[in-house]
Structure formats: C-alpha cells, structure tokens
Amino acid sequence: MTAVDTTSAEVVAPAHGVTLSDAAAAKAKGLLERDGSADMVLRIAVQPGGCSGLRYELFFDDRTLDGDALVDFGGIGLAVDRMSKPYLDGAVIDFVDTIEKQGFTIDNPNAQNSCACGDSFH
C-alpha cells in the first residue's frame, strides 16, 4: 500500500492514519527550516514509560526505519514506525500557541487512559 500526496502526486512510503494539523505542519516546517536539514522528517513514536505505561516521542529524524509509514503534510514528512502505528492510527497532532499553553498536542482515540501531563497513555 502506498500513499499519494495529492498536492504533488508524489508516491511515498506506506501510509499511516496519523494526521498533522495545518498549524503543526507549519510549526514543524518552520523549525526544520531554522534548525534542521532538508532530509529530516517529523517522527512520532510510542515507547514504554511514563506514568500511564506508554509515552509519546515526537522528534525530527533523518533515519528511515524498516517498516516506516510516511505521509507528507504541506511539505513536512510525518513518519511512524511499524511498532507504533497500531497505537497511533487515528491520532491528530496539533500545535497550540495560547497564553495558557504552547506546544505540540496529540489527540489519540486509542488512548484509554492518559496522565495529567498528556505525555503518556495506556
């Protein structure tokens, strides 16, 4: 299965079900332009840990892992590894910038429980 970027018709790696909002894509693209390199993608992964059992990792990565799923959102690639994909399908990554909070947020319909900080889930 391959994903097709509808803006450029470029065929990319197998698709995943994670969505990157326009605000999150713009922020990630700006950060990459300022501090990164053109071959990096934004990667979201799930790792053991945190107070609820699993925690999110969101970072820029220049590696391609076997089994990666990749989708382009407005010029920024979002990669999900094979092991994290089932935990993240349907999740939405957003970026908020308000007086109360600034940063990336993850709304994951697969999370049954999460901690107060929002960084870990079960």
CB 32 within 8 A of CB 78: no
Beta strands in 1-122 (DSSP E): 19-20, 41-48, 54-61, 69-73, 76-80, 92-97, 102-107, 120-121
What pTM value is reported for the model? 0.77
pLDDT reported for residue 10: 45
pLDDT reported for residue 7: 44
pLDDT reported for residue 24: 96
User: Cβ neighbours of residue 82 under 8 Å, at least 6 residues apart?
Assistant: 65, 66, 67, 68, 69
Tens digits of pLDDT across the chain (122 residues): 444 444 443 444 568 899 999 999 999 999 999 987 878 999 999 988 765 578 889 999 999 999 999 999 989 999 999 999 999 999 999 999 999 989 999 998 887 655 555 554 44
pLDDT reported for residue 51: 59
pLDDT reported for residue 47: 87
